[in-house]
Amino acid sequence: MKRIMREEYLQWLIRWKEKQVIKVVSGVRRCGKSTLFDIFCEYLLAQGVRREQILMLNFEDIANEHLTDYRDLYRYVMDWVQPDRVNYIFLDEIQHVNQFEKAVDSLFLKEECDVYITGSNAYFLSGELATLLSGRYVELKMLPLSFREFCSGLDNVSLTLREKFNRYLEYSSFPYVTRMQLDARETGEYLRDIYHTVLLKDIVARLKISNVELLENVTRFTLYNVGNVVSAARIANTLGSRGMKVDPKTVDKYLRGLTDSLLLYQVGRYNVKGKQYLVQSVKYYAVDVTLRNMLVQGQETDIGHLLENIVYLELLRRGYQVYAGQVSDKEVDFVAQKPGQTVYYQVSATTLAPDTLKRELAPLRAISDNYPKYLLTLDEVFGTADYEGIRKRNVLEWLMDAEEPGGIS
């Protein structure tokens, strides 16, 4: 498989190059952050930057363990920095450095330093860091491969779009799996390694969880129910009925850990008619549907909810805030919002049966405003079918549309 350049993400780094602001790239483990830095460094060298102007430190490498105190890191970098030149400083998986925000802030103050950092969870940009660096950083929220990126790396261009999609579901969206063309067994082993690393390093260790088995049961229950409205109380009651006693507060703590680790994404609900954000019950989607299917192996696979999951992640890439819509007693899968822009999406595997089409159109028809409304399915659609202003599109063709990822501006 060809190397996938992550062009949109690369262009974001290029746009912010040498601007007096800290460049932050966040994303789940193994989504391609380190490779993105490598690609960007190749770009810099091609533009005439000398290799001695680039410092790359990965804090998951034991060779850099002696720099995991912020004072040692700052001294090391400043000993390397040369005046009268731009010094490009890449600090990969910075969350492993104790109080790293102090070192990063001090480097930011040096005009000759162009600072780039990555982190593999949401909480490394919370609390003290956000307060200390407020107004001093821009963030790129990186995801694993989109379907369009995955297709760009395929060597066999004779495959149909549906065959490419089937491969996307089989190989997962994690770049290493696709680049190395792992078989099913190797893919499963690799994804399990990611899963256990996230659980143990990003959740168990941080939240000091002693009952790992209970955490895994909460994780599997939530992954099995992607696209369904769930609550901590419902999860606690379901697990309790299976003999696993747990209170809703503990479940809520575990869910926060799963979303902070970027393994899961929480989607709140939005009352379309009242234009209100609802706080009761939410939906969750997985960062990768192949990983989700592996963890709930043997369970019934709902292609409709998997499509929802993939569409949700794509909307994030395109820079939208995404909510699950409520219209009276009906539900719209997604309300996607940008400043001054709202788009409604309904997702279904197929609507060829008249009753199914009627059911899927009903929530969109209940919306009285004039914002765009889409029905996305796997059905063969020639161009765009129109149902009184509701446009039906083939979801795979929609996924191939070129739009900038979320956070890119």
pLDDT digits (tens, 9 = 90+) for 108-156: 999 999 999 999 887 776 655 667 777 889 999 999 999 999 999 887 7
- Final residue of a domain: which of 141, 157, 180? 141
- Final residue of a domain: which of 141, 169, 196? 141
Confidence (pLDDT) at 127: 56
The answer, yes or no, to whether residue 164 has pLDDT greater than 90, is yes
Place 25 in a pLDDT band, splitting at 50, 70 and 90: very high
Confidence (pLDDT) at 300: 54
Neighbours of 20 (CB within 10 A): 11
The answer, yes or no, to whether residue 404 has pLDDT greater than 90, is no
What is the pairing mode between strands 276-286 and 137-141? unpaired
For residues 33 and 134, state if they share a domain: yes
Confidence (pLDDT) at 121: 82
Higher confidence at residue 123 or residue 12? 12
Confidence (pLDDT) at 155: 75
The answer, yes or no, to whether residue 405 has pLDDT greater than 70, is no
Spacing of C-alpha 232 from chain mean position? 22
Per-residue CA distances from 399 to 153, 154, 161, 303, 318 (Å): 15, 16, 11, 16, 11
What is the C-alpha separation between 348 and 128, in angstroms, rounded?
42
Asked, for residue 407, whether it belongs to a domain, the answer is no
What mean pLDDT comes out for the span 307-332?
95
Asked, for residue 406, whether it belongs to a domain, the answer is no
What mean pLDDT comes out for the span 259-268?
95
Q: What is the CATH number of the domain that holds 20?
A: 3.40.50.300
For residues 242 and 160, state if they share a domain: yes
Neighbours of 123 (CB within 10 A): 17
What is the C-alpha separation between 86 and 83, in angstroms, rounded?
8
Place 298 in a pLDDT band, splitting at 50, 70 and 90: low
The answer, yes or no, to whether residue 274 has pLDDT greater than 90, is no
Confidence (pLDDT) at 184: 83
Give the chain's largest Cα–Cα span: 70
For residues 18 and 112, state if they share a domain: yes
Asked, for residue 408, whether it belongs to a domain, the answer is no
Confidence (pLDDT) at 2: 67
Confidence (pLDDT) at 333: 97
The answer, yes or no, to whether residue 224 has pLDDT greater than 70, is yes
Confidence (pLDDT) at 1: 58
For residues 181 and 79, state if they share a domain: no
pTM of the model: 0.93
For residues 94 and 151, state if they share a domain: no
Question: 399 near 351, Cβ under 8 Å?
Answer: no
For residues 67 and 212, state if they share a domain: no
Q: What tokens appear for 229 in the block?
A: 């409205």
368: closest CA among 344, 352, 385, 396?
344
75: closest CA among 52, 118, 106, 30?
106
Place 47 in a pLDDT band, splitting at 50, 70 and 90: very high
For residues 353 and 207, state if they share a domain: yes
What is the C-alpha separation between 110 and 87, in angstroms, rounded?
10
Asked, for residue 405, whether it belongs to a domain, the answer is no
Strand partners, 330: 327
For residues 236 and 316, state if they share a domain: yes
Per the prediction, the chain carries an average pLDDT of 91
Confidence (pLDDT) at 128: 56
For residues 34 and 93, state if they share a domain: yes
Confidence (pLDDT) at 275: 82
Place 3 in a pLDDT band, splitting at 50, 70 and 90: confident
Strand partners, 87: 113
The answer, yes or no, to whether residue 382 has pLDDT greater than 90, is no
Confidence (pLDDT) at 122: 77
Give percent helix, percent strand, percent coil of the chain, each to the nearest 5: 45, 20, 35
Place 279 in a pLDDT band, splitting at 50, 70 and 90: confident
For residues 107 and 135, state if they share a domain: yes
Asked, for residue 214, whether it belongs to a domain, the answer is yes
Structural domain total, the chain: 2
What mean pLDDT comes out for the span 384-390?
89
Asked, for residue 260, whether it belongs to a domain, the answer is yes
Strand partners, 89: 55, 115
For residues 157 and 269, state if they share a domain: yes
Per-residue CA distances from 12 to 25, 42, 59, 406 (Å): 10, 15, 23, 11
Range of the domain at 221: 147-399
Neighbours of 314 (CB within 10 A): 25
At residue 82, φ and ψ (nearest 5 deg) are -115, 135
Place 402 in a pLDDT band, splitting at 50, 70 and 90: confident
The answer, yes or no, to whether residue 409 has pLDDT greater than 50, is no
Q: What tokens appear for 32 in the block?
A: 């391609």
Asked, for residue 207, whether it belongs to a domain, the answer is yes
Asked, for residue 49, whether it belongs to a domain, the answer is yes
What is the C-alpha separation between 120 and 202, in angstroms, rounded?
8
For residues 211 and 97, state if they share a domain: no
Confidence (pLDDT) at 408: 55
Alpha carbons within 13 angstroms on the beta-carbon side of residue 342 total 14
Confidence (pLDDT) at 177: 86
- Final residue of a domain: which of 107, 124, 141? 141
195: closest CA among 210, 179, 209, 215?
215
